[in-house]
Chains A and B, each alone.
Chain A
Amino acid sequence: MEKFDVIVVGGGPAGLSAAISAAKAGMKTVVIERGDYPGTKNVMGGVLYTAATNEVVPEFWKEAPLERPVIEQRYAFLSKDEIFSASYRDPAWGVEGQYNAHTVLRVKFDRWLADQAVKAGVMIITETVVEDLLYHGDDVVGVRTGRAEGDLGAKVVIIAEGANNFLAVKAGLAKPLRPDSMAVVVKEIIELPAEKIEDRFCLEPHEGATIELFGDSTDGMMGTAFIYTNKNSISIGVGSIIGAMAKKGWSPNDLLENLKAKPYVKRLIQGGEIKEYLAHMIPEGGYNGMPKLYRQGVLVVGDTAMFVNGLNREGSNLAMISGKIAGQVAAEAIKSGDVSAQGMSVYETRLRDSFIIKDLYKFRKLWPFIEDNPHLLEQYPEIVNQAARMYFTADGTPKAQVFKNIMDMVFKKRTKSGVVKDMYKAWRALK
């Protein structure tokens, strides 16, 4: 049986970041990936954060296959054909040295990241599914793969298997996934000439924009839709909690078609050619859904660890930083000869000191709050749109009356005490 210091299961951003940091610390490291090469099984909406990626591969933007730097982020609230939106734009975000995030296509990007891992000394085994961990007594000593004579030995196994947490469950670290803590997302890549994208989104060449849509985009279900600009295509998708979709009887593809038919959205993608249709799950369990993050000889990173901040649509950065920390902790533990649960626990301590668990903790009450109050995403986008409509309508109504009418409308749709209660509960959930 071939032996390694560190085996990483899964070649996504979390796993590859873990492998890079372990290899840089001198560990004999292998990544086991089930696809043809890292990337071919991987999907995300498409936003890659600069600071986190820079920590794994300094100045990655000079070489990495990126789409467009994001210079504008828009939040939109859909209600039938109406839309109310707010956005922030700064062209400086499109200037080297001041990047905040880029859109990416994961097949290209992950493959490139895997090349960086190889340069750092990581070995990558592809087309191989890891079926279980290998044990010696209670100690994890490697992995069992689907190949003949496919056992591989390791001092530390880093589980970066993604949203489907088969191994983490088998290892007793995670619970089986639940429909109320997982979202299903479908996405299309729609090809459009660069000039069309730039005209429609008011961008200079090589600038990009993102839009997140709430409300009718998910038929009021917990979730969001997104539209991201790539170089020559648009990534458009929608995702919602599986339990909510099951209850309402929605098919993911129908939800996406519903979004694409909205007047505002339709115009953005018009004339484009669909190049690919994709599906993926996103872990939305948050802080309370996190599995146990370590045990003797094992660390859990990225999506498998539920490291997703859905509110801020952050995931790839949590994946990469958790991977980087895991690779470092694995190397330190191996060097000190202590891969016991005690030795591995440093990983959780460092995550708790980082933005990863701090952010998940901060928003721990937010998901239950939105889940328990489905009217928020059902009623407020409509209220906001109606209020805007009344405010902007010039029909001779004196403005003092307009303001009164708006308040009457709000309190008719959601009673005065209801609004106060919602605001108080929202404040409590974010406190």
Chain B
Amino acid sequence: MKLDDKLYLVRFNTDKLNHIKIKNGDVCLKCQDKVCTFICPAHVYDWDEEENRISVGYVGCLECGTCRVACPHGNIQWEYPRGGFGVSWKNG
């Protein structure tokens, strides 16, 4: 099963507000490895070639917090979604 299909199995109460921000887009331009684009279990982060920036699909965030720890530049401001929003596990 592809990752996208796996993510369809996850239950979300999607918030209108984005709980993830890239602090400074210039930092990503110089970032070599772009760890966030592969280490996130939900593939929330993608490098947008046209716009030369990281695109953030916060809606699919599984709230593990790995991105914030993994970013070598501390450039991801990742917070919990507002209370009651975000991922809602069925099994855990």
Contacts and interface: CB of A to CB of B under 8 A. Distances in A.
A182 B87 contact: no
Interface string B57-71: 000001111101110
Contact of B6 (A176, A178, A277): A277
Interface string B10-32: 10010000000000000000000
Interface string A221-256: 000000000000100000000110110011111000
Contacts of A186: 41
Interface string A41-81: 11110000000000000000000000000000000000000
A242 B39 contact: yes
Interface in A160-195: 163-164, 166, 176-179, 182, 184, 186, 188-189
A245 B62 contact: no
Contacts of B41: 184, 186, 251-253, 279
Interface in A295-338: none
Most chain B CB neighbours (cut-off 10 Å) among A110, A145, A243, A250? A243
A207 to B, nearest CB: 20
Contacts of B6: 188, 253, 274, 277
A108 B33 CA distance: 39
Interface stretch (A20-28, A126-134, A397-405): A126-134
A242 B10 contact: no
B69 A36 contact: no
B92 A279 contact: no
Contacts, number: 132
B66 A281 contact: yes
A177 B67 CA distance: 11
- Classify the interface of chain B: helix, strand, loop or mixed: loop
A246 B89 contact: no
A280 B41 CA distance: 9
B70 A179 contact: yes
A388 interface: no
A268 to B, nearest CB: 17
B91 A178 contact: no
Given A188-B6, A276-B9, A277-B6, A41 B89 contact: yes
Contacts of B38: 249-251
B90 A36 contact: no
A42 B10 CA distance: 13
Contacts of B80: 34, 129, 164, 166
B2 to A, nearest CB: 9
A35 interface: yes
Contacts of B70: 179, 184, 242-243, 246
A188 B13 CA distance: 20
A36 B13 contact: yes
Interface string A268-305: 00000011111111000000000000000000000000
Given A188-B6, A253-B6, A275-B9, A129 B63 contact: no
A275 B89 CA distance: 11
Nearest to A37: B88
B91 A277 contact: no
Interface in A97-130: 105-110, 126-129
B67 to A, nearest CB: 10
Contacts of A166: 79-80
A40 interface: yes
A107 B89 contact: yes
A110 B90 contact: no
Contacts of A250: 38-39
A129 B15 CA distance: 14
Name, among A109, A178, A279, A280, the residue most crowded by chain B CB atoms within 10 Å (CB to CB): A279
A146 interface: yes
Nearest to B3: A253
A147 interface: yes
Given A163-B65, A184-B41, A280-B64, A108 B92 contact: yes
B66 A35 contact: no
Q: Which of B43, B74, B83, B90 has the most CB of A within 10 A?
A: B83
A250 B7 CA distance: 19
Contacts of B43: 251, 253
Contacts of A34: 80, 83-84
A416 B25 CA distance: 51
Most B CB contacts (10 A, CB to CB) among A34, A176, A243 go to: A34
Give me the 3 closest cross-chain CB pairs, A-B, nearest first: A106-B92, A127-B84, A279-B41
7 contacts: A36-B84, A105-B91, A178-B69, A253-B3, A253-B43, A276-B10, A278-B89
Interface of A: 34-36, 39-44, 105-110, 126-129, 145-147, 163-164, 166, 176-179, 182, 184, 186, 188-189, 233, 242-243, 245-246, 249-253, 274-281
